[in-house]
């Protein structure tokens, strides 16, 4: 049975919750079972405050309904959050961490695979704003194969209207091509 758990670290206003929802929507579009939910404890409802969002993807119904403590994948929207939050906490051995970053980041663990994509730059170039959540989903699709770019595009078009959706789909496709990693 496939069950993949993701934890997203970001700041209020960066679209962490929307990202989790679009990841789940893309999985659902491919016939998988999925759930997405936020954790806003600690002031996450304020713009700029640390937030976490979660997604689960499975090939069978998901009965779990709790916060994800030991994710298979972690996405970090803003690496400066690492000064306040241990983003590696609970990440499984051989897990994947994806950073919104122009360059590599030194990690305290060698038993995880790290990937980097300049998602903010891609978002500014394609969408006109530094809201990088859809670009990060494109990178996630490339490094994991959990969801296809077409399914991500479908989820985005369900969430956003017309031109906004198409700009976000372009961000997904660019990030898919530009993600780099350290194995």
Average pLDDT over residues 171-175: 97
Instruction: State the Cα–Cα distance between residues 126 and 135, nearest whole angstrom.
Output: 10
Considering the chain, what percentage of its residues have pLDDT values greater than 70?
95
Radius of gyration of the chain (CA): 15
Q: Give the CATH superfamily of 3-182.
A: Pyruvate-ferredoxin oxidoreductase, PFOR, domain III (3.40.920.10)
118 and 99 in contact (C-beta within 8 Å)?
A: no
Instruction: State the Cα–Cα distance between residues 101 and 116, nearest whole angstrom.
Output: 6
pLDDT in tens, 56-86: 999 999 999 889 999 999 999 999 999 999 9
Residue boundaries of the structural domains of the chain? 3-182
pTM confidence score: 0.94
Taking residue 127's Cβ as centre, other Cβ atoms within 10 Å add up to 18
Instruction: State the Cα–Cα distance between residues 60 and 79, nearest whole angstrom.
Output: 33
pLDDT in tens, 10-50: 998 899 999 999 999 999 999 999 999 998 665 545 677 88
> Looking at residue 43, what is its pLDDT?
52
């Amino acid at each position: 049975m496939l069950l993949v758990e993701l934890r997203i670290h970001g700041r209020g206003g960066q679209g962490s919750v929307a990202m989790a929802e679009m990841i789940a929507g893309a999985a659902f579009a491919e016939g998988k079972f999925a759930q997405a939910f936020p954790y806003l404890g600690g002031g996450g409802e304020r713009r700029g405050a640390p937030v976490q969002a979660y997604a689960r993807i499975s090939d069978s119904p998901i009965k779990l309904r709790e916060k994800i403590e030991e994710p298979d994948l972690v996405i970090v929207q803003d690496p400066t959050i690492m000064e306040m939050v241990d983003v590696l906490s609970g990440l499984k051995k051989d897990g994947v961490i994806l950073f919104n970053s122009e360059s590599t980041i030194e990690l305290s663990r060698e038993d995880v695979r790290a990937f980097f994509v300049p998602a903010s730059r891609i978002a500014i170039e394609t969408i006109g704003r530094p809201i990088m959540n859809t670009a990060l989903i494109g990178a996630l699709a490339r490094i994991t194969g959990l969801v296809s770019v077409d399914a991500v595009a479908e989820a985005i078009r369900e969430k956003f209207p017309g031109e906004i959706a198409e700009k976000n789909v372009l961000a997904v496709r660019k990030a898919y091509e530009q993600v780099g990693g350290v194995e």
